[in-house]
């Protein structure tokens, strides 16, 4: 069972790099192992969030899209 999301970030209307900056700010406020959910409408976010996770050592647990809105779930790994 996946842990509950403890933080949500909604940078809709903002473009790169703001969604990943907001994700970084949120992930520093939670405990290792906890999840952050990000909602964005930036079409470049799929590559940006995946690259951010790889570069920072956090885990992209899930991602989905509904029309022009993208949702990501990221686990704090360190």
10 Å CB burial of residue 33 (0-12, 13-18, 19+) is exposed
Joined tokens for residue 41: 């409408």
Active-site residue, 16 included: yes
What is the spatial distance between Cα 60 and Cα 11, in angstroms, rounded to a whole number?
A: 17
Q: Which of 16, 21, 30, 61 is catalytic?
A: 16
Which residues are tagged catalytic?
16
């Amino acid at each position: 069972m996946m842990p509950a999301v403890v933080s949500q970030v909604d940078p809709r209307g903002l473009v790169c790099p703001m969604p990943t900056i907001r994700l970084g700010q949120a992930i520093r406020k939670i405990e290792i192992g906890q999840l952050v959910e990000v909602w964005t409408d930036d079409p470049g976010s799929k590559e940006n969030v995946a690259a951010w996770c790889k570069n920072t050592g956090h885990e992209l647990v899930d991602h989905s899209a509904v029309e022009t809105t993208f949702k990501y779930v990221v686990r704090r790994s360190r």
